[in-house]
Amino acid sequence: MRSFILFITLSLPGLLSAQEAPYDVFPDAEPPYFRVRYEASTKPGELIFPVKYTVWIPPGVKTLRGVVVHQHGCGVGSCKSGLTGAFDLHWQALAARHGCALMAPSYEQAKDGDCQMWCDPRNGSDAAFRRSLVDLGKLSGHPELATVPWALWGHSGGGHWAGGMVMLHPDRVAGAWLRSGVPLLMPNPKRPSIKPHIFSSAVLRVPMMCNLGTKEGYSVKTGRFAGVWPANEIFIDTLRSQDAHVGLAVDPLTAHECGNQRYFAIPWLDVCLRKRLPKEAGGELRIIEGNQKGFVYKQDKRWLWLPDESLLEAWSCYTEDTQVHDKTPPPAPTNLVLKGNQLTWKATADLESGLAHFIIERDGKAIATVPGKPTNKFGRPVFQGLQYSDTPAQPLVQMRFTDPMPEAGRKHQYRVIAVNTVGLKSK
């Protein structure tokens, strides 16, 4: 099958070799996936790294209402992990609920490359991102992709990027989740090369959640990432002093790894999209009404702002032990097909708790799980596995099972049951 990849040169060809390791291994982009790749540029102010942008379009959607952007962090490992971000079933469930695309960039940063040259959007990644929306809109048959609102998620340098995009384009952002990284709002003497952002009053009405691990300078004051909390504290206090829609959720278990944050981040962005996406195509983002200071929990009046009171319980559970509650089972698998002794099926993830694994039944008895041992060294075990920057592991796990011991001459009945990460089973 033909892979839908558009290669676009932003500068003179041959300056950098295309598709160099480790960025040369990635899933095919066949509909509903589409991909563009831009070469590096040597022009001042333009992006100095090659970059791939992969987008997933929810099947059956006629007109997109927005795009959810999942942005990896700094370093070769994190940049490589962005290659699978658009294939994440859990994040697809969020996008599909609101008629949005899911986009994942992958900047091909060199081992000794300066991350600021992409995670500060003013260094060319803002322009490249917006250009990709135009090109991907043409490829996918959804030209509206170029103009719809954005819901942004970013980890580490990706948080810096997402927050920077809020500063540059507040009228385009429905909400931004900043995991372990924020843009600078005032000069940092230790990093004089990083330019602080100047923000307008429109930024104050954009919902933002600052999320970091407690071991990133919050309760543990030493270590490689001890500077994350001081940067967040300045960011939050500066914006909250002007009643900005910004909150804080400290992960009580982690350092810089993402942990279980998606079980709060996805419901939080779900509310932002529900409350802020325009009612009519092409309209402006709606402003969240009510108490502009947000909802206050316990004694934490400086840093807690939530877009809806319904998120209070999730915030409380997450900040206590990351075990956000869920009472809804996952959707049941569909399109079960048996060829010989091999089963295949399709499934969508539970919005609240994702997918942990599938139970395979034969003639009413459970005979296996897929995968046999779901993994995730950073949090709850999940069907697709997770990398450091919260993206599925390669190679992507398939919804497939081969029965090793069918009885000859007997017609078996099979059933596939989805199980989410809190153990609830599909009906």
Find how far residue 26's CA is from the centre of its chain. 17
Which whole number is the average pLDDT over 369-380? 92
Superfamily of domain 5-321: Alpha/Beta hydrolase fold, catalytic domain (3.40.50.1820)
> Which of 91-100, 153-162, 302-311 is least confident?
302-311
Which whole number is the average pLDDT over 44-60? 97
- The string of pLDDT tens digits covering residues 129-170 is 999 999 999 999 999 999 999 999 999 999 999 999 999 999
Would you say 101 and 95 are in contact if contact means Cβ atoms under 8 Å apart? yes
Q: Does pLDDT of 31 surpass 50?
A: yes
Which whole number is the average pLDDT over 282-302? 64
3-state secondary structure of 155: strand
Distances (CA, A) of 320 to 173, 186, 242, 250, 391: 29, 31, 28, 9, 24
**CA-derived radius of gyration, the chain:** 22
The whole-angstrom separation of Cα 21 and Cα 11 is: 21
**Position 189 confidence tier, pLDDT thresholds 50, 70, 90:** confident
- The string of pLDDT tens digits covering residues 340-364 is 999 999 999 999 999 999 999 999 9
Q: Give the rounded percent of residues in the chain with a pLDDT score beyond 90.
A: 84
Which whole number is the average pLDDT over 253-261? 97
pLDDT of residue 108: 98
Which whole number is the average pLDDT over 238-247? 91
3-state secondary structure of 34: strand
The whole-angstrom separation of Cα 248 and Cα 143 is: 36
3-state secondary structure of 79: helix
- Here the tokens at position 195 are 């330019």
Would you say 66 and 277 are in contact if contact means Cβ atoms under 8 Å apart? yes
Show me where the domains of the chain are located: 5-321, 334-419
What ranges make up the beta strands (E) of 42-141? 51-56, 66-71, 100-107
- The string of pLDDT tens digits covering residues 378-424 is 999 999 999 999 999 999 999 999 999 888 888 999 999 999 999 99
Find how far residue 95's CA is from the centre of its chain. 10
- Average pLDDT value over all residues in the chain: 92
The whole-angstrom separation of Cα 418 and Cα 349 is: 9
The whole-angstrom separation of Cα 104 and Cα 35 is: 10
Q: Does pLDDT of 298 surpass 70?
A: no
Query: Shortest CA distance to 143 belongs to which of 34, 280, 69?
Result: 34
Q: Which DSSP category does 161 fall into?
A: H
pLDDT of residue 19: 77
**Residue 198 exposed, middle or buried by CB count within 10 Å (0-12, 13-18, 19+):** exposed
Q: Does pLDDT of 321 surpass 90?
A: yes
Which whole number is the average pLDDT over 272-299? 76
The whole-angstrom separation of Cα 163 and Cα 184 is: 9
Q: Does pLDDT of 67 surpass 50?
A: yes
- The string of DSSP letters for 309-344 reads GGGHHHHHHHHHHS-----PPPPPPEEEEEETTEEE
The whole-angstrom separation of Cα 362 and Cα 414 is: 5
Give the H or E element holding residue 95. Answer: helix 89-97
The maximal CA–CA distance of the chain, rounded, in angstroms, is 76
Which whole number is the average pLDDT over 122-127? 98
Which whole number is the average pLDDT over 45-62? 97
Find how far residue 244's CA is from the centre of its chain. 23
The whole-angstrom separation of Cα 6 and Cα 33 is: 12
Instruction: Give the global pTM.
Output: 0.94
**Position 17 confidence tier, pLDDT thresholds 50, 70, 90:** very low
The whole-angstrom separation of Cα 361 and Cα 369 is: 9
Distances (CA, A) of 246 to 160, 211, 305: 15, 11, 6
The whole-angstrom separation of Cα 157 and Cα 141 is: 31
Sheet holding 400-402, edge to edge: 334-339, 342-346, 400-402
What ranges make up the beta strands (E) of 269-316? none
The backbone torsions φ and ψ at residue 345, rounded to the nearest 5 degrees and listed phi first, read: -160, 175
- The string of pLDDT tens digits covering residues 171-188 is 999 999 999 999 999 988
Q: Does pLDDT of 245 surpass 50?
A: yes
Which of the two residues, 297 and 199, has the higher pLDDT score? 199
| Angular region, 331: left φ>0, alpha ψ -120 to 50, beta rest | beta
The whole-angstrom separation of Cα 312 and Cα 291 is: 15
**Residue 136 exposed, middle or buried by CB count within 10 Å (0-12, 13-18, 19+):** buried
> Which of 90-94, 275-279, 360-364, 409-413 is least confident?
409-413
